[in-house]
């Protein structure tokens, strides 16, 4: 069910993507490292022998600046940087092994960036060998990586496949040559098709494409062509992201003319058209921005109520501990978050001094844990049970925010249960924000310089 443009306009406000709760702007600028280590050790002990742990490796290097990108990255053509960075990650891993005191069981691993395929296949293999040498691989592990279609080689795919990887996510963004030119991401469709075919030939069982709507020079016609080309390759998953224009934090976004951005009305049409075409061709709407074919694990997990959401996006795994290695990486220990140094040199300095490179973070209160569960339930299952022990907070903050959503037909409230309607599935971020007590208490409205708009 598609909402009207008026309804899309009404809810097209700055709002978090809720890969965490509380969201990063509410974290403390300096975390107590000793306390973080204690929480980390407790959570590791609780989950390692049952679910295992998740790892995220952040590889920040790119050869070119894509001007739309809001990721933490380092632009260079000097590939000698690979060695120093790998050694830093492996040393950071050693520091965490000293905290854990037991051999980790790795259930989930994702390599992101930056451009992970900036690294040579040989170096990626050596990096993973260094990680795996002092860990056990869970028999039901899920390993994935982000690949650039221009530089992902057969050797990259084969090397990572041999290490247990079965899912690859290609950063496609848009197939239109004019759009690629303005965002400095020149990537012919033939390269995407070749990389996809190679992945499947090697044996990858899930191929994801990242597409973005709202980029400069995009039109409904150009997006229709991009989607039609994408559908010919039948990726197992599609992430259809709204372009987040945040030039105050991503300086590269200042390099193109903002007048080239689609109007709000056109951007909403792009979103509606994309969702219509994906669902018409057999893709299922998983949640925020994500679509999957019926045979994909993400769709199966959603149907079975096993879907989880963290800093890696939607995942079929919920290990209880996500450990981030590398510059700017974020770790999630269930009741605490910690983020590494964002500047590469600061990260190296911490590692050189045998210090965990965490700097920013947050320790969740009992209230945070409860309302985090509400947000996860809504974003992963489209339903939640309102917490009876927090009736005062529900009455003062949550219910007043939910009533307009109910009036607009986005949710149904009955017997303390909230269910997202088909219409409401277009506004998951807005619905989650009703349970964001930090955001509501701070201003009553979202700070426009902290979050991208919902559509």
Do 411 and 418 form a contact (C-beta atoms < 8 A)?
Answer: yes
**Does 334 carry a binding-site annotation?**
no
DSSP characters over 376-406: HHHHHHSEEEPPGGGHHHIIIIIHHHHHHHH
Identify the DSSP state of 24.
Answer: G
First-residue to last-residue Cα distance in the chain: 16
**Does 115 carry a binding-site annotation?**
yes
CA 215 to chain centre: 19
**Does 444 carry a binding-site annotation?**
no
**Does 380 carry a binding-site annotation?**
no
Helical axes 121-132 vs 81-100, angle rounded to 10°: 10
Do 52 and 40 form a contact (C-beta atoms < 8 A)?
Answer: no
**Does 11 carry a binding-site annotation?**
no
**Does 114 carry a binding-site annotation?**
yes
**Does 173 carry a binding-site annotation?**
yes
Is the C-alpha dihedral spanning 314, 318, 319, 322 positive or negative? positive
**Does 71 carry a binding-site annotation?**
no
Alpha-carbon distance values, 254 to 64, 69, 131, 251, 437 (Å): 16, 11, 38, 6, 33
Scanning 281-343, the segments in alpha helix (DSSP H) are 297-303
**Cα(368)–Cα(372) distance, rounded to whole angstroms?**
6
61 token code pair: 């290097």
**Does 330 carry a binding-site annotation?**
yes
Is the C-alpha dihedral spanning 80, 85, 88, 90 positive or negative? negative
Q: Where are the beta strands (DSSP E) in 61-152?
A: 61-62, 74-75, 105-113, 136-147
Query: Minimal CA–CA distance to 46: which of 315, 309, 321?
Result: 321
Would you call 377 exposed, middle or buried from its count of C-beta atoms within 10 A (0-12, 13-18, 19+)?
middle
**Cα(210)–Cα(172) distance, rounded to whole angstroms?**
5
Is the C-alpha dihedral spanning 176, 177, 180, 186 positive or negative? positive
**Cα(387)–Cα(123) distance, rounded to whole angstroms?**
49
**Does 346 carry a binding-site annotation?**
no
437 Cβ contact partners less than 8 Å away, ≥ 6 residues apart: 367, 371, 393, 397, 398
**Does 424 carry a binding-site annotation?**
no
Residue ranges of the annotated binding site for S-adenosyl-L-methionine are: 56, 68-70, 113-115, 146, 173, 185, 210, 244, 330
Residue ranges of the annotated binding site are: 56, 62, 66, 68-70, 113-115, 146, 173, 185, 210, 244, 330
Residue ranges of the annotated binding site for [4Fe-4S] cluster are: 62, 66, 69
């Amino acid at each position: 069910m598609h909402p009207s443009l008026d309804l899309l306009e009404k809810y097209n406000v700055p709002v978090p993507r809720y890969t965490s709760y509380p969201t990063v702007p509410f974290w403390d600028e300096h975390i107590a490292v000793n306390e973080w280590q204690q929480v980390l050790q407790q959570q590791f002990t609780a989950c390692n022998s049952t679910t295992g742990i998740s790892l995220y490796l952040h590889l920040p290097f790119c050869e070119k600046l894509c001007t739309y990108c809001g990721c933490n990255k380092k632009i260079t053509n000097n590939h000698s940087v690979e060695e120093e960075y790998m050694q830093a990650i492996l040393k950071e891993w050693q520091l965490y092994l000293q905290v854990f005191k037991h051999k980790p069981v790795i259930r989930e691993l994702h390599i992101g960036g930056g451009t992970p395929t900036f690294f040579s296949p040989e170096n990626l293999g050596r990096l993973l060998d260094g990680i795996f040498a002092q860990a056990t691989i869970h028999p039901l592990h899920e390993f994935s990586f982000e690949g650039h279609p221009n530089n992902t080689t057969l050797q990259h795919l084969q090397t990572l496949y041999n290490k247990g990887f079965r899912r690859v996510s290609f950063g496609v963004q848009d197939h239109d040559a004019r759009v690629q030119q303005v965002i400095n991401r020149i990537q012919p469709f033939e390269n995407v098709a070749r990389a996809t075919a190679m992945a499947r030939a090697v044996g990858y069982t899930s191929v994801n494409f990242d597409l973005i709507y709202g980029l400069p020079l995009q039109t409904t016609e150009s997006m229709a062509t991009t989607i039609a080309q994408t559908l010919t390759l039948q990726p197992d998953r599609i992430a259809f992201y709204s372009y987040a224009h945040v030039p105050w934090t991503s300086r590269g976004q200042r390099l193109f003319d903002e007048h080239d951005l689609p109007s709000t009305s056109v951007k909403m049409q792009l979103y509606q058209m994309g969702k219509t075409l994906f669902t018409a061709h057999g893709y299922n709407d998983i949640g925020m921005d994500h679509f999957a074919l019926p045979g994909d694990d993400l769709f199966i997990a959603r149907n079975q109520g096993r879907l989880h959401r963290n800093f890696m996006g939607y995942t079929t795994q919920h290990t209880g501990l996500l450990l981030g290695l590398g510059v700017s990486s974020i770790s999630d220990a269930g009741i605490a978050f910690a983020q590494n140094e964002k500047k590469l040199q600061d990260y190296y300095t911490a590692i050189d001094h045998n210090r965990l490179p965490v700097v920013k973070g947050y320790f969740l209160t009992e209230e945070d844990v409860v309302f985090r569960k509400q947000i996860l339930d809504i974003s992963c299952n489209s339903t939640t049970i309102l917490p009876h022990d927090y009736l005062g907070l529900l009455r003062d903050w949550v219910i007043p925010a939910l009533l307009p959503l109910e009036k607009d037909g986005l949710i149904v409230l009955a017997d303390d249960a909230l269910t997202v309607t088909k219409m409401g599935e277009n506004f998951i971020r807005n619905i989650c924000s009703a349970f964001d007590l930090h955001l509501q208490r701070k201003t009553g409205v979202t700070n426009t310089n902290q979050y991208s708009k919902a559509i």
